[in-house]
Copies of this chain bind each other. A is one copy, B any other.
Amino acid sequence: MSLSARIDAAVRNAVLIGQGGIAPAQLSGALTYATTPGGARIRPTILMSVAMACGDDRPQLTDAAAAALELIHCASLVHDDLPCFDNADMRRGKPSVHRAYSQPLAVLAGDSLIVLAFEVLARAAHVAPDRGIQLVLSLAQKTGMPGGICAGQGWESETEIDLSAYHRSKTGALFIAATQMGAIAAGQESEPWFELGARIGEAFQVADDLRDALCDAQTLGKPAGQDDLHGRPNAVTALGVDGAMQRLKDILAGAIASIPSCPGEARLAQMVRMQAEQIMPVFAPVQAQA
């Protein structure tokens, strides 16, 4: 099975748990809607790649960890799109969840996906209880307060922003979760994997800033220029387009150099390079204006 097929199966099976038995039909539907189509599934891809580089001796736990992380990411998109945040009508080329269903169902779908993430981990934990608990803890810390993506969004309500804490929690957290949870699922220490996750997260932030500043809404599948609109800090504003592109390359080189010694080190480095090529923005010159 390919990596992407394995991830899709893990996410699908996780969502099915939330739809079992007698369940309200629309909220059930919203769970599938919010998690498909999968898009790049970048975070679970990184998680599984790290787990495989470390031996992947409990594949059931790796599957659960990858699904749980993706559910949290999808939940965050559903809530971020709400009218009181980004007020986004579109996501991944189709109406956002609150537009397709309703605001109440979007709030509930996000809540349900968050809870489901922890349920999926608990269900798989019997194969290695200690790792299961570490996974719950790691995912919670990267999702909630004070250091997870909730904190990241929370910073946007502050008049004085701690930029380092903001970026680490807003974008970095789930990438750090990806590398560390991959290591935990395979029975390894999580700490040595922090840097790889942090650097990948930083790269995505810069790539996202470039995309947000330069692309049009059609290419993004969501409203463009959101950062400028909401006055959020942005690498392009700080460094210019060329500076931000150079910064992106430097970060990715650092990411590859930070990979801890492990059996699948070379293959993992190759995966990061491939992901890097995918996120490197390519623009027609006529669009490049900042």
- B107 and A148 contact, CB distance less than 8 A: no
Asked if A190 is an interface residue, CB under 8 A from chain B, the answer is: no
- Taking the closest CB of chain B, its distance from the CB of A159, in whole angstroms, is 9
**B interface footprint on A118-153 (CB within 8 Å = 1, 0 otherwise):** 110111011001101110110011011111101101
- B146 and A21 contact, CB distance less than 8 A: yes
Output the nearest chain B residue to A79 by Cβ-Cβ distance: B107
Taking CB atoms, residues of chain B closer than 8 Å to A79 are 107, 111
CA distance A107 to B140 in the complex (A): 17
- B157 and A137 contact, CB distance less than 8 A: no
Number of copies: 2
- B24 and A155 contact, CB distance less than 8 A: yes
- B28 and A145 contact, CB distance less than 8 A: yes
- A108 and B150 contact, CB distance less than 8 A: yes
CA distance A85 to B22 in the complex (A): 22
CA distance A130 to B47 in the complex (A): 25
Stretch at the interface among A98-106, A217-225, A279-287: A98-106
- B21 and A148 contact, CB distance less than 8 A: no
- Taking the closest CB of chain B, its distance from the CB of A99, in whole angstroms, is 13
Output the nearest chain B residue to A158 by Cβ-Cβ distance: B24
- A27 and B105 contact, CB distance less than 8 A: no
Taking CB atoms, residues of chain B closer than 8 Å to A148 are 115
- Taking the closest CB of chain B, its distance from the CB of A231, in whole angstroms, is 14
With A103-B84, A108-B153 as contacts: A144 and B158 at CB distance below 8 Å: no
Taking CB atoms, residues of chain B closer than 8 Å to A84 are 102-104, 107
Output the nearest chain B residue to A136 by Cβ-Cβ distance: B122
Output the nearest chain B residue to A162 by Cβ-Cβ distance: B22
With A24-B154, A119-B141, A145-B18 as contacts: A104 and B133 at CB distance below 8 Å: no
Output the nearest chain B residue to A132 by Cβ-Cβ distance: B133
Taking CB atoms, residues of chain B closer than 8 Å to A130 are 129
Asked if A26 is an interface residue, CB under 8 A from chain B, the answer is: yes
Asked if A206 is an interface residue, CB under 8 A from chain B, the answer is: no
CA distance A105 to B84 in the complex (A): 9
CA distance A24 to B159 in the complex (A): 10
Taking CB atoms, residues of chain B closer than 8 Å to A238 are none
With A157-B104, A158-B26 as contacts: A111 and B110 at CB distance below 8 Å: yes
Q: Write 9 A-B pairs (CB below 8 A) sorted by A numbering.
A: A18-B146, A23-B145, A24-B146, A24-B155, A26-B157, A27-B150, A102-B157, A125-B133, A126-B133
A19-B145, A79-B107, A119-B136 known; 18 new pairs, CB 8 Å cut-off, are: A21-B146, A22-B146, A23-B147, A27-B145, A28-B145, A105-B154, A107-B107, A108-B150, A108-B154, A111-B111, A112-B150, A115-B145, A118-B118, A122-B136, A122-B137, A122-B140, A123-B137, A129-B130
